[in-house]
Amino acid sequence: MAGSDGVTDPAVQALISAVNSGDRAAFFDALAPGATMSDDGTDRDLADWADREIFSSGGHMDVVSATDGGRSLIANYRNETWGDMRTRWAFTTADGKISRFETGQA
């Protein structure tokens, strides 16, 4: 199933919506306490990364394809720092929250 229609996991839906609306509080609400992330294979400080790559740079995610309820997806991602790029995202969820995500260029 192509596009955001394939994103059925509520936590992933909430995170994408938060990114696209620039809602920092909703973004962190979609995450489990102590959530972790990596970018291009390197673990990053999640709060610092989110502020830099999403909220201070107008980040926006357009889902191209999604599998496993959206826990694995390809998205066209853009922000004011890097412009447009095709990215891959993998989410680990537990108890309705995202405990880890990994992203990078696809």
Residue-wise pLDDT for 31-49, tens only, equals 999 999 999 999 999 999 9
**What domains lie within the chain, and their CATH numbers?**
3-105 (3.10.450.50)
Mean of pLDDT values over 44-65: 97
Q: Which residues of 46-61 are buried (b: 16+ CB within 10 A; e: fewer)?
A: beeebeebbbeeebbb
- Per-residue pLDDT tens digits for 13-35: 999 999 999 999 999 999 999 99
CA angle 29, 32, 33 (to 5 degrees): 100
pLDDT for position 47: 97
Q: Is the model's pLDDT at 78 over the cut of 60?
A: yes
Q: Is the model's pLDDT at 98 over the cut of 80?
A: yes
pLDDT for position 5: 74
